[in-house]
């Protein structure tokens, strides 16, 4: 059938919000090479804190997959996500030393704290798997879409920043996001209406929190 999927319909309905999160001025500044390097350093140190908080959220999503879906494929995909977060933490440490950023005493800023609290709320066993996996997909997809934009033809991303853009903008990460999307879609198709509504709200929350995160990186605060 050519029925529009739940996620596809949200992307249409919330197009402007989605574009706001994935084509933020901070991303434009990386893409056109005008990015302020202190802003980039701030993003790097704050995102390291974010990723550390992202791990328990993804782990809790794995537990939900195991309890509520039991699908072997879902569990392996989420486990793969956890494994890549393990690599990501090492990557942050290496990258930070290249930029003279110290990760040992980073003070999380307000936008980051808000985002980490949101993740923590979603680790609750009362939050449905459909909501958690949709949130997981949204979080990964915003970075994939944003950083891939910095690598497209015509972009003038400085050489030093390409390593970062490639981390999330590469084709394999795109495929991983597509897989998460189809898992989320499968859950949403069979979820009751109130759960689909909660997942939509969580999707919009992610977009808003991502915009605040980019704002924080650009200007501090």
Stretch that binds ligand HMH, among 7-15, 44-52, 72-80, 181-189 (CB under 6 A): 44-52
With CB under 6 A, what is the number of residues at the site for ligand HMH? 9
145 binds ligand HMH per the rule CB under 6 A: no
176 binds ligand HMH per the rule CB under 6 A: no
50 binds ligand HMH per the rule CB under 6 A: yes
CB nearer ligand HMH, residue 63 or residue 85 = 85
Closest CA relative to residue 115, chosen from 201, 195, 54, 196: 54
Contacts for 108 with CB less than 8 Å, ≥ 6 apart:
46, 49, 116
The values of phi and psi at residue 187, to 5°, are -70, -40
26 binds ligand HMH per the rule CB under 6 A: no
Distance between CA 161 and CA 2 in Å, rounded? 40
Active-site residue (options: 45, 95, 200, 210): 210
Closest separation between CB of residue 117 and ligand HMH, Å?
Answer: 13
Are the CB atoms for 195 and 128 separated by under 8 Å?
yes
CB nearer ligand HMH, residue 49 or residue 199 = 49
Catalytic residue flag (residue 210): yes
Contacts for 101 with CB less than 8 Å, ≥ 6 apart:
41, 44, 45
CB nearer ligand HMH, residue 118 or residue 129 = 118
Contacts for 143 with CB less than 8 Å, ≥ 6 apart:
168
Long-range contacts of 140-143 (CB under 8 A, 24+ apart): 140/81, 140/173, 140/176, 140/177, 140/180, 141/177, 141/180, 141/181, 142/21, 142/22, 142/206, 142/207, 142/210, 143/168
Site for ligand HMH (CB under 6 A): which residue of 30, 196, 213, 216? Answer: 213
Closest separation between CB of residue 143 and ligand HMH, Å?
Answer: 4
Report the SS3 class of residue 36.
coil
Q: Draw the binding track, 103-142, toward ligand HMH (x: CB under 6 A; -: no contact).
A: ------------------------------------xx-x
What are 177's two structure tokens? Answer: 């996001």
40 binds ligand HMH per the rule CB under 6 A: no
Closest separation between CB of residue 50 and ligand HMH, Å?
Answer: 5
CB nearer ligand HMH, residue 129 or residue 213 = 213
Instruction: Give the binding site for ligand HMH (CB under 6 A).
Output: 47, 50-51, 139-140, 142-143, 210, 213
Query: What residues act catalytically?
Result: 210
């Amino acid at each position: 059938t050519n029925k529009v999927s739940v996620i596809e319909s949200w992307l249409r309905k919330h197009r402007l919000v989605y574009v706001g999160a994935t084509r933020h001025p901070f991303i434009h500044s990386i893409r056109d090479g005008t990015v302020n390097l202190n802003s980039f350093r701030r993003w790097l140190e704050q995102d390291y804190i974010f990723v550390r908080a992202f791990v328990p959220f993804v782990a809790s999503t794995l537990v939900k997959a195991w309890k509520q879906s039991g699908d072997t494929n879902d569990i392996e995909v989420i486990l793969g996500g956890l494994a890549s977060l393990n690599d990501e933490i090492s990557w942050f440490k290496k990258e930070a030393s290249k930029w003279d950023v110290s990760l040992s005493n980073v003070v999380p800023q307000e936008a980051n704290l808000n985002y980490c609290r949101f993740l923590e709320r979603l680790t609750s066993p009362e939050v449905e798997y459909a909501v958690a996996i949709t949130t997981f997909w949204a979080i990964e997809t915003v970075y994939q879409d944003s950083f891939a934009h910095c690598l497209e033809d015509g972009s003038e991303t400085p050489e030093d920043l390409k390593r970062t853009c490639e981390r999330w903008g590469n084709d394999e990460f795109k495929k991983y996001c597509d897989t998460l999307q189809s898992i989320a879609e499968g859950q949403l198709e069979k979820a009751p209406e109130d759960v689909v509504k909660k997942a939509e709200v969580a999707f919009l929350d992610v977009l808003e929190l991502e915009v605040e995160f980019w704002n924080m990186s650009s200007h501090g605060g």
